[in-house]
Amino acid sequence: MGLGAETRRRIAKRAAQEITKGMVVNLGIGIPTLVSDYIQPELGVMLHTENGILGMGGSPASGTEDGHLSNAGGYPVTLIQGASYFDSATAFGIIRKGYLDLTILGALEVSQQGDIANWIVPGKRVPGMGGAIDLAQKAKKVIILMNHQNKDGGSKIVHRCRLPLTVQKGANMIITEMAVFQVNEEGLELIEIMQPYTLEEVERATEATFYVSTQLTINS
């Protein structure tokens, strides 16, 4: 089942809390694109896109869209002061050189070890994986935003990914409509529960093995 607009924005807003002053950040397609609307201008964050922008701003007001200015998903965006344009080769050079402090991506599945599957469901046609592998391997920190469960009610946070992998041990954090997990050397740590969900509901909805943080918080 898909998430409502308000829930998607709540996930994006929580992810924005992980962005700190001066970061260079890439936002993936889907829920991650909404994160740009929750980044405070005074932080001086530079948003990067694979199609060739450094300094992307939030969504434009209705009626002010520039048809030549979009994010990697094709949605209209704005620019902040000091932004620059370049070709995709340069955009990927920035990624592969390790200049991204953070990338925020969507996923189809994430394992308890942090393995990410986010580019294809076998048998379904896709245009390609885009920058998924480069981003998941080269960014200093990787946050996954996604539904907690798939359309059939199965957990998307699993013991081991069943879908083709994008990267092994790439995820550092997972944020869903139900909870926030941190991927540590010791395993998957539940650090936050999103109201109105309970710990019991999170446990029932999660296939992966996880442990509960001693500093577990409730996000209201």
DSSP assignments along 19-77, one per residue? --TT-EEEE-SSGGGGGGGGS-GGG--EEEETTTEEEE--PPPTT---TT-B-TTS-B-
Does the annotation mark 50 as catalytic? yes
Query: What type of residue sits at position 109?
Result: E
Backbone torsion region of residue 63, taken as left when φ is above 0, otherwise alpha when ψ lies between -120 and 50, otherwise beta = left
* Contact in structure between 145 and 14 (CB atoms under 8 Å): no
Counted residue by residue, the chain has a size of 220
How far apart CA 148 and CA 203 sit, in angstroms, is 11
The residue annotated as part of the active site, out of 6, 42, 50, 177, is 50
How far apart CA 35 and CA 19 sit, in angstroms, is 10
Query: What type of residue sits at position 67?
Result: G
The set of catalytic residues is 50
